[in-house]
Amino acid sequence: MFEFEKNDVKTARKWFEMGCKAENPQEKLEYYSKTLKINPNHISAWNNKGVALRLLGKFEKAIECFDKALKIDPKDKLALKNREIVMDKIVEWKIPDNKTNPPS
């Protein structure tokens, strides 16, 4: 496990909260990335970063985030569900009869 200074924990918490409050997926992505630089074991930040990436149509990067959350906790139900949602989007996007652009 990582050791953090009290200020680091507070800073990570503030970045995470700002990400939760942001409406723009790109802003969310930036805040969650800052959270994870301080605390790379923050499962909720990995999940939320993955969701933001999904909203931006960056499905492979989203899967990587959910996989990182699952590496920390293989039974995390939210990461498992989010990963399933993105995998369904990838399959949906790759079916030839669907739109040529990935769904968001």
List the chain domain ranges: 6-94
- Cα(3)–Cα(14) distance, integer angstroms: 18
Instruction: Extract the tokens encoding 24.
Output: 């723009």
Instruction: Extract the tokens encoding 10.
Output: 């507070």
Report whether pLDDT(2) > 50. Answer: no
**Domain 6-94 in CATH 3.40.50.620:** no
- Judged by DSSP in three states, 57 sits in coil
Q: Please give the backbone phi and psi of residue 96, each rounded to the nearest 5 degrees, phi first.
A: -55, -30
Rounding to the nearest 10 degrees, give the CA dihedral for residues 80, 81, 85, 91.
40
- Cα(89)–Cα(29) distance, integer angstroms: 19
pLDDT tens, residue by residue, 29-82: 999 999 999 999 999 999 999 999 999 999 999 999 999 999 999 999 999 999
